[in-house]
Amino acid sequence: TIVTDNGGPFRSFTFEAFIAAHPEIRHVRTRVRTPGQNGSRERGFGTMKYEWLFREEIDDGLTLVDQIDAYRHDYNHVRPHEAIAWNRPADVYAGHAHPTIPNFEIEEILPTT
């Protein structure tokens, strides 16, 4: 299932043709003027903008693409996420970590005396 808002790209003939060609995908649109229905995705875009894209001046589309790819890599492969027990999404997706069991090394601090 893919949930989208009612923006132009998701109402286009091209997108509808793509969905029609993939019967395994179910397309659900949010209600008009209800961004809260797609809140996690909207929050994800906000995080990307404020934590990554607004840090420096981006002058052209190719630089924007590079920055978005770098953010995507950082988000999925570098950053631990609290919602999945401080694991990285790529590790959970690949089955190297469980979404409810932390997978990081715990430093053992021994007494010095």
* Residue the block writes with tokens 């906000």: 46
Residues spanned by the domain of 25: 1-37
Handedness of CA 85, 91, 92, 95 (dihedral sign): negative
**Same domain for 57 and 98?**
yes
Whether residue 50 has pLDDT greater than 90: yes
pLDDT, one tens digit per residue, over 69-81 is 999 999 999 999 9
Assign 33 a pLDDT band (cuts: 50, 70, 90): confident
Straight-line distance from the first to the last Cα atom of the chain, in angstroms, rounded to the nearest whole number:
59
Question: Alpha helices, DSSP H only, in the chain?
Answer: 8-11, 13-21, 39-51, 61-73, 89-94
Are 32 and 3 in the same domain?
A: yes
In this predicted structure, the answer to whether residue 110 has a pLDDT above a threshold of 90 is no
Mention every residue, 6+ apart, whose C-beta is less than 8 A from residue 26: 1, 2
Kindly state whether residue 33 falls inside one of the protein's structural domains. yes
pTM, full prediction? 0.67
Number of domains into which the chain is organized: 2
Is 3 within a domain? yes
**Mean pLDDT across the chain, nearest whole number?**
91
56 and 100 within one domain: yes
